[in-house]
């Protein structure tokens, strides 16, 4: 029995998230369909994280235990030949039998893209939030730094989140600009339901109301979702990196 770890990227526009659901097309189901075409067996796969409907991934990992003997590099080629154009397998490596793509993960990094121009960009349709009016990136970056640390982020968890423990550690958080593209970037040991999108919505609201950056801490300490901003649309969100300690599985 082999334990194979796959690194993939996908455009989530056509999918109702990663996790398999009834009566909805998901990334996991599509991957299982592709694997079954290649090895003629429907294997169980274990994803590193849940992603919501319409959310994308630059780097996503899943592992699969299988009896198949196809070499890793040939598995990549074969799987890419049967998967749709919006999902790409980047690599496949054999890992230890006890490796688990979710439980072995020590931190994750998400990015959120905002097209900041009065004129829409057709090439970023479904790939970035379109925001008219100049965003003050320097100010938003200062506010973003207030998220860094270990806190109870209950105020940044959407209704429906099932986590009992809402404490998370944010290692880094920033907002930067590249021309008209504004990038929110955050790395942490874990994230609550819709947490990143609520963080983005809160920063935009603080910008619009021209509030002091100290408001971020006040929202955190309130532990009340009503005090945070709106949940930003899913189309601009990407799972960017998954970290497994000192191991590099790219």
- Name the residues annotated as catalytic: 52
What angle, rounded to 10 degrees, do the helices at 137-145 and 195-209 form? Answer: 130
Q: For residue 237, give the 3-state DSSP assignment.
A: strand
**Dmax (CA) of the chain:** 59
Instruction: State how far the alpha carbon of 53 is from the alpha carbons of 47, 119, 241, in Å.
Output: 15, 26, 19
Instruction: Count each helix (H run) and each strand (E run) in the chain, helices first.
Output: 5, 10
Distance CA 21, CA 31 (A): 13
Rounded Cα distance between 214 and 193, Å, is 24
């Amino acid at each position: 029995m082999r334990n194979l770890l796959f690194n993939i990227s996908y455009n989530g526009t056509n999918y109702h998230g990663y996790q398999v659901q009834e009566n909805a097309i998901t990334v996991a189901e599509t991957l299982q369909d592709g694997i079954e075409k290649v090895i003629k067996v429907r294997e169980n796969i274990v994803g590193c994280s849940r992603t919501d409907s319409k959310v994308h991934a630059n780097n996503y990992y899943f592992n699969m235990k299988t009896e198949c003997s196809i070499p890793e590099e040939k598995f990549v080629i074969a799987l890419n030949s049967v998967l749709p154009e919006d999902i790409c397998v980047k690599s496949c490596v054999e890992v230890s039998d006890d490796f688990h793509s979710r439980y072995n993960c020590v931190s994750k990094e998400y990015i959120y893209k905002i097209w900041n121009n009065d004129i829409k960009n057709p090439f970023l349709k479904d790939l970035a939030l379109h925001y008219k009016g100049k965003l003050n990136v320097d100010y938003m970056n200062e506010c973003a730094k207030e998220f860094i640390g270990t806190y109870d982020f209950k105020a940044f968890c959407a209704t429906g989140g099932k986590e009992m423990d809402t404490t998370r550690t944010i290692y880094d958080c920033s907002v930067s600009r590249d021309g008209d593209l504004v990038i929110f970037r955050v790395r942490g040991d874990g994230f609550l339901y819709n947490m990143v999108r609520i963080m983005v919505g809160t920063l935009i609201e603080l910008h619009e109301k021209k509030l002091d950056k100290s408001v971020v801490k006040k929202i955190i300490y309130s532990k009340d979702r009503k005090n945070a901003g709106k949940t930003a649309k899913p189309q601009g969100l990407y799972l960017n990196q998954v970290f497994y300690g000192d191991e590099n599985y790219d």
